[in-house]
A = this chain, B = another copy of it.
């Protein structure tokens, strides 16, 4: 997604070879117009799938799950990181380790809102180590719902998250795939070029 890659180049702050900060427009201050475009892009990618619900995890996945839900006209659920007093009923849950916050926690969702009749699209802001997304995938499996795919806004392709998801047979699509980065420099994998190569291959070229 070119407009997203350009924005990452312009406004992203690369703090190290692994830490990218995009909190001026994606996950602290949020450019609502860009978030809507991101939702439309996810919708155009997953439009042919019979998605009934979008699943994400609080907090930074919410704006993109919402945008995708608007575009696909389906509700979304955000997994909670702690069990609130008002989340008293039975939950599906999974353990997660946050490298950003350096802590272990559980994510959970009410069993009332996901079941065997659902076809789920998982949306999140970042795909890096993949631990939060694996946790969400485990929750979908536990619920008996079908997981149709994972959509991420930014993928750090040099980390193992995509591989872990693909090993489980989960289709992954990220809107901006970073092959490498270092302070002042970011390189993207060109999704368009990849598609063209895939099309050429399938056409026997």
Contacts and interface: CB of A to CB of B under 8 A. Distances in A.
Contacts of A19: 85-86
Q: What is the total number of copies of this protein in its complex?
A: 2
Given A24-B113, A28-B80, A75-B31, A85 B70 contact: no
Interface in A88-103: 88, 100-102
A167 interface: no
Interface string A59-91: 100110011011001111110101011111000
10 contacts: A21-B86, A28-B80, A30-B75, A32-B66, A32-B70, A59-B59, A59-B62, A82-B101, A84-B100, A84-B101
Interface of A: 15, 19, 21, 23-25, 28-33, 35-36, 53, 58-59, 62-63, 66-67, 69-70, 73-78, 80, 82, 84-88, 100-102, 109-110, 112-113
